[in-house]
Amino acid sequence: MNSELAVIRIKNLRLRTYIGINDDEIANRQDVIINVKIQYPAEKATVSDNMDDALNYRTITKKIIALVENNQFGLLEKMTSDVLAIASEHPWVCTASVEIDKPHALRFADSVSLELTYQEN
């Protein structure tokens, strides 16, 4: 039997959170844009058509929203790492990557982003 890898993409999840180390960043919420990519073996779900055999992207997204909106982060690295931990926590996940954009963080740039990747050993 061939192994089919599913790819879940959560695209452009727009949230507001406290991110940064400057006084105005600590005092005011800022926009962030989150992109998540998760790969897992999907052959069981493709045959059964049963939600219990698939990763639930709604559950994953709700956890990410709660994390980001209810916390304060000094560094983009920390927030990205914490979101990646949620994206990769299910034992079926083979690889996951998270990219978080912080729009208008630099003058003359649309955004600054950071990407981290998890790969099972």
Q: What is the DSSP string of 66-104?
A: HHHHT-EES-HHHHHHHHHHHHT-STT-SEEEEEEEEET
How many domains is the chain built from? 1
Name residue, tokens 């003058």.
107
pLDDT digits 0-9 by tens, 26-45: 999 999 999 999 999 999 99
Residue segments in the chain with a per-residue pLDDT below the cut of 70? 1-2
| Global model pTM greater than 0.85 | yes
Domain holding 67: CATH number?
Answer: 3.30.1130.10
* Domain encompassing residue 93: 5-119
| 79 contact partners, CB below 8 Å, separation of at least 6 | 17, 19, 32, 68, 71, 73, 100
